[in-house]
Amino acid sequence: MSTALLDLVLPPRCAGCDAPGALVCPRCAAELHGRPARRMPVPAPPGLPECWSATVYTSVVRRAIIAYKERGRTALAHPLAGALALTVAAATGDRPVTLVPVPSARPALRRRGHDPVSRLTELAAGYLRAAGWPTTVAKVLVQRRRVADQAGLSSLQRAENLALAFRVTAARNGSEPSLWGGAGPIVLVDDIVTTGATLAEAARALREAGVAVPLAATIAATRRKGESYDRYGG
């Protein structure tokens, strides 16, 4: 039986701490939503947009994201997207905004059976529109070649692995005119920022297509070894 179906027929347990009674308990929800702030990796790769995240990548946040992405607990998209929407709002104010999700690799999509970042982006956009923010989603980035799993790679290895990995599918006269037509700032969307290599490569592909990319938003920012939570505003 799928995890998503079990979530419907069995009493829920918190994805962050495994306590019974809620998909995400109030304590873990507070940690997940955190304090949206500008959190940049150090060192930042060239071309990385200004990165904002809801929180740091704590054990609670890690368990919730992995449960959503890898273990079929797709109902977690709603609280995770809520954290993402708060982050976009903090980064952009009340301006119109266009959200561009970072694409997942095709093997990962087949393995997971869903597109986690795209779903989070759509839900976050819906929350922002409901709150009065004019928000558009433009799914214009695709992978142009296969890349290796990023887990365990150094900053340099991640950058090399992702070099020229993305391209834009829509031209200026194509299906996504909002990218070039006054829809407010472009905000790249991903679930986590670690070294910034993925977001920097996505920004490069958009700039190559003539699109300025000032901002990126994620649910969490990975804390580097030896760095305190205060540095990340958490």
The model's confidence at residue 174, banded by pLDDT at 50, 70 and 90, is: very low
State how far the Cα of 65 lies from the Cα of 143, in Å rounded to an integer. Answer: 22
Q: Which tens digits make up the pLDDT trace of 17-67? A: 999 888 999 999 999 988 999 999 998 999 999 999 999 999 999 999 999
pLDDT band at 232, cuts 50/70/90? very low
Residues 215 and 185 sit within 8 Å (Cβ to Cβ):
yes
What per-residue confidence (pLDDT) applies to 206?
93
Lowest mean pLDDT across 109-123, 162-176, 180-194: 162-176
Q: Which of 11-15, 18-22, 175-179, 221-225 has the lowest mean pLDDT?
A: 175-179
Cα separation, 227 vs 224, whole angstroms: 6
Per domain, the residue ranges of the chain are: 34-232
Q: Which of 37-51, 166-180, 211-225 has the highest mean pLDDT?
A: 37-51
Q: Share the mean pLDDT of the chain.
A: 81
Give CA–CA dist 38/174, Å, rounded: 33
In 3-state terms, what secondary structure has residue 216?
strand
Give the fold, CATH level 3, of 34-232: Rossmann fold (3.40.50)
- pLDDT of res. 177: 44
Rounded to an integer, what is the distance from CA 223 to the centroid of its chain? 16
The dihedral built from the CA positions of residue 168, 155, 38 and 105, taken in this order, carries a sign that is positive
The DSSP letter of residue 45 is P
Q: Residue 35 corresponds to which amino acid?
A: R
Quickly state the pLDDT bin for 144 (edges 50, 70, 90): low
Helix (H, G, I), strand (E, B) or coil at 81: helix
The answer, yes or no, to whether residue 183 has pLDDT greater than 80, is no
- What are the distances in angstroms from CA 157 to CA 80, 129, 154? 29, 38, 5
User: What is the structure's pLDDT at 233?
Assistant: 45
Give mean pLDDT, residues 108-125: 83
Q: Calculate the dihedral angle through the C-alpha atoms of 113, 32, 101, 153, rounding to the nearest 10 degrees.
A: -80
SS3 at position 6: helix
How many other β-carbons are positioned within 10 Å of the β-carbon of residue 6? 12
pLDDT at 122 over 60: yes
Whether the upstream peptide bond of residue 43 has omega within 30° of 0, thus cis, is yes
